[in-house]
């Protein structure tokens, strides 16, 4: 199924992850993405099922105390496969692994019981290190209390969104890999090796027909723009070659009303021909739609 060039596009197989220490970005991606694919049919690759939820907490789910600035937590409901570097801690690098065990208690995480993780910092010889912490054990943050504290508005379907990016094959056109060239002035700084520890597929791409997306949310954080651009890129970029991804909205909108795609396109055609002044409105997506996950991932992970 996978040709050589596709493998390079998705995986870039030549890194020695074991000796690289995981960065905050690497931990954030690993804990948000959850169990990513290996080469087994058990992996929930295609549908983006079995993914954790990333939540933003401005209150402690146990004590109710304010957390300022807010922190991210990664919620694994019971049965959700744990993140790759939790199952294979060598992927964290030696120092981060050791902190994750001694302070973070990550060895106590269990798929059956469910788990809540966060990322903490420790001082090692005057240097600050990010490490994963099993907050359900160290802080008593239960899955239910953490989800209830965050509510839907502070919950992001990041892991599922990354999966949509891979399965929709956005990487044929986009990269997630600015290079050490003039690139960084437009697309932001290249990733560090430790940003990718245990991530599979990295999907960082080998061919670019479109802008690099690694830091796209730093230059464009508008959910409305993303919605219009995904529903039909020509709404915001008249000559765009990007395909429309309107089908990621699914059958119904946020209120459960069926989305009439044929009617929408007819009205859009009238607008394109100049018969009416405004294009039809893009439907509000349902909370469990694939487009919500994709935009959640872009705006949360690609900063």
Contact flag: residue 210 with ligand HEC (CB under 6 A) = yes
Backbone phi, psi, residue 293, to 5°: -60, -45
Which listed range, 18-26, 45-53, 192-200, 234-242, lies at the site for ligand HEC (CB under 6 A)? 234-242
Which listed range, 7-15, 28-36, 128-136, 205-213, lies at the site for ligand HEC (CB under 6 A)? 205-213
Contact flag: residue 250 with ligand HEC (CB under 6 A) = no
Give the residue with the Cβ less far from ligand HEC, 67 or 210. 210
Give the residue with the Cβ less far from ligand HEC, 75 or 235. 235
Closest CA to 203 of 68, 52, 55, 11: 11
The answer to whether residues 258 and 251 touch, using CB atoms and an 8 Å cutoff, is yes
Which listed range, 5-13, 78-86, 88-96, 169-177, lies at the site for ligand HEC (CB under 6 A)? 169-177
Contact flag: residue 17 with ligand HEC (CB under 6 A) = no
CA–CA distance, 116 with 108 (Å, rounded to integer):
11
DSSP 8-state assignment for residue 80: P
Contact flag: residue 168 with ligand HEC (CB under 6 A) = yes
Closest CA to 299 of 179, 119, 155: 155
Query: Which of 17, 74, 141, 165 touches ligand HEC (CB under 6 A)?
Result: 165
Computed on alpha carbons and rounded to an integer, the radius of gyration of the chain in Å comes to: 20
Which listed range, 22-30, 44-52, 122-130, 172-180, lies at the site for ligand HEC (CB under 6 A)? 172-180
Contact flag: residue 233 with ligand HEC (CB under 6 A) = yes
The answer to whether residues 33 and 195 touch, using CB atoms and an 8 Å cutoff, is no
Give the residue with the Cβ less far from ligand HEC, 54 or 120. 54
Contact flag: residue 216 with ligand HEC (CB under 6 A) = yes
Which listed range, 95-103, 198-206, 236-244, 270-278, lies at the site for ligand HEC (CB under 6 A)? 236-244
290 burial level (CB within 10 Å; 0-12, 13-18, 19+): buried
Contact flag: residue 298 with ligand HEC (CB under 6 A) = yes
How many Cα atoms within 13 Å fall on the side-chain side of residue 43? 15
Backbone phi, psi, residue 57, to 5°: -105, 120
Contact flag: residue 242 with ligand HEC (CB under 6 A) = yes
Edge-to-edge order in the sheet of strand 66-76: 127-134, 115-124, 66-76, 53-59, 155-156
Residue ranges that bind ligand HEC, judged by CB under 6 A: 165, 168, 170, 172-174, 209-211, 213, 216, 220, 233, 237, 240-243, 245, 294, 298
């Amino acid at each position: 199924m996978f040709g050589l060039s596709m493998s390079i596009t998705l995986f870039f197989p030549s890194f020695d992850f074991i000796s690289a220490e995981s960065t905050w970005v690497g931990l954030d991606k690993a804990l948000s993405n959850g169990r990513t694919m290996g080469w087994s049919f058990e992996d929930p690759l295609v549908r983006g099922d079995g993914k954790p939820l990333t939540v933003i907490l401005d209150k402690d789910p146990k004590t109710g105390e304010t957390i300022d600035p807010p922190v991210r937590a990664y919620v694994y409901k019971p049965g959700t496969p744990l993140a790759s570097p939790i199952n294979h801690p060598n992927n964290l690098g030696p120092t981060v692994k050791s902190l994750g065990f001694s302070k973070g208690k990550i060895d106590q995480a269990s798929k059956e019981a469910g788990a809540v993780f966060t990322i903490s910092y420790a001082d090692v010889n005057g240097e600050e290190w990010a490490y994963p912490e099993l907050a359900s054990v160290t802080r008593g943050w239960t899955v239910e209390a953490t989800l209830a504290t965050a509510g839907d508005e502070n919950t992001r379907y990041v892991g599922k969104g990354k999966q949509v990016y891979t399965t929709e094959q956005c990487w044929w056109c986009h990269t997630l890999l600015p290079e050490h060239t003039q690139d960084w002035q437009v697309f932001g700084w290249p990733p560090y090796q430790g940003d990718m520890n245990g991530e599979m597929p990295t999907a960082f791409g080998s061919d670019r027909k479109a802008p690099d997306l690694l830091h796209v949310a730093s230059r464009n954080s508008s959910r409305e723009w993303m919605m219009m651009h995904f529903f039909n890129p020509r709404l915001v970029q008249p000559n765009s070659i990007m395909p429309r991804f309107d089908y990621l909205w699914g059958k119904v909108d946020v209120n459960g009303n069926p989305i009439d795609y044929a009617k929408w396109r007819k009205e859009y055609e009238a607008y394109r021909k100049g018969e009416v002044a405004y294009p039809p409105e893009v439907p509000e997506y349902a909370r469990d739609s694939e487009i919500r996950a994709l935009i959640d991932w872009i705006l949360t992970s690609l900063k």
